[in-house]
């Protein structure tokens, strides 16, 4: 597998190994984001948007629903292959935030869904600014675990043991590049969301799709899965349930390239 050296090893290894699990177990996004894409980012028919760090295309349908032309950019080959299989009508290009395979001022918007923390560097923002037209929009979106729920907080403690040096939204370090030269200040919206499904799919498999966990040796991955299943079994609201609701808060940020 050939991946740009600018891609963190946890993303290259973990997402390369877990692309199928990622596609099956990751949550979608609240429908209300459709209005946000139009209102905050100006997406509509006739516009062109890059889905940057597109992964397997979990966010791509929301972008396509605006009527804009979507160009997906994803550096990990296995993830890009899953995206093409799921969304054959979407143009999918190999590339990353530091090397966008797109012409100067060719985009009306760039959206980074569940990805910006991997490349939150001034050089990446400069490259995005190059590809955006004057007044073009940058959108950042994350589904964030709602740790006000006790079992979700306990799950986070299991996950955090294995994080190592992997960049994460939770660290807040992605914010350090803002305010960014050539961009307006960030605006923020928050939306409640629940991922409903079997505990195995939406909790266990979702956890195993985490980049730095998917990159672990098989024996350590088994220990993680065992700990997560033990948490489910010891939590009255989860144990023995056919379906559960995994609570998230979807956070959406927007700014624009200064004219």
Q: What is the pLDDT of residue 222?
A: 98
What pLDDT is recorded for position 7?
63
**CATH, residue 147:** 3.40.50.150
Is residue 32, in this structure, part of any structural domain at all? yes
Range of the domain at 28: 9-256
| pTM across the whole model | 0.92
Residue 155 pLDDT level (bands cut at 50, 70, 90)? very high
Note the pLDDT tens digit of each residue in 4-55. Answer: 556 655 544 545 455 677 778 889 999 999 999 999 999 999 999 999 999 9
Tell me if 242 is assigned to some domain: yes
Does any domain span residue 190? yes
Q: How many domains does the chain have?
A: 1
The reply to whether 1 falls in a domain is no
The reported pLDDT for the residue numbered 4 is 53
Query: Residue 175 contacts by C-beta under 8 Å, 6 or more apart in sequence?
Result: none
**What is d(CA 70, CA 255) in angstroms, rounded to the nearest whole number?**
19
- The pLDDT of 204-232, averaged and rounded, is 95
Per the domain annotation, does 2 fall within a domain? no
Residue 1 has a pLDDT of 40
Kindly state the average pLDDT of the residues 180-189: 97
Whether 105 maps to a domain, the answer reads yes
What is the mean pLDDT of the segment spanning 84-112? 96
End-to-end CA distance of the chain: 40
Alpha-carbon distance of 27 to 67, in angstroms, equals 23
Within a domain: residue 104? yes
Residue 4 lies in a domain: no
Say if residue 63 is preceded by a cis peptide, omega within 30 of 0: no
- Whether the per-residue pLDDT at 2 is higher than 90: the answer is no
């Amino acid at each position: 597998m050939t991946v740009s050296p600018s891609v963190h090893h946890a993303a290259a290894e973990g997402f390369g190994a877990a692309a199928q699990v990622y596609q099956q177990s990751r949550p979608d996004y609240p429908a209300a984001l459709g209005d946000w894409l139009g209102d905050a980012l100006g997406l509509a028919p006739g516009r062109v948007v890059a889905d940057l760090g597109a992964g397997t295309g979990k966010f791509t349908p929301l972008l396509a629903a605006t009527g804009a032309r979507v160009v997906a950019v994803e550096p990990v080959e296995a993830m890009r292959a899953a995206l093409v299989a799921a969304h054959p009508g979407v143009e999918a290009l190999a590339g990353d935030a530091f090397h966008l395979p797109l012409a100067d001022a060719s985009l009306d918007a760039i959206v980074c869904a569940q990805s910006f923390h991997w490349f939150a560097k001034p050089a990446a923002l400069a490259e995005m600014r190059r590809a955006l037209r004057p007044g073009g929009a940058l959108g950042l979106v994350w589904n964030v675990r709602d740790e006000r729920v006790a079992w979700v907080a306990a799950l986070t403690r299991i996950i955090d043991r294995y994080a190592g040096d992997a960049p994460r939204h939770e660290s807040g370090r992605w914010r350090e590049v803002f305010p960014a030269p050539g961009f307006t200040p960030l605006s923020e919206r928050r939306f409640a969301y629940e991922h409903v499904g079997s505990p195995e799919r939406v909790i266990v498999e979702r956890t195993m799709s985490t980049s730095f966990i998917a990159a672990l040796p098989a024996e350590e991955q088994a220990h993680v899965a065992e700990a997560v299943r033990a948490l489910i079994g010891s939590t009255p609201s989860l144990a023995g349930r056919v379906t559960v609701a995994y609570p998230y808060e979807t956070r959406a940020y927007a700014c624009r390239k200064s004219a």
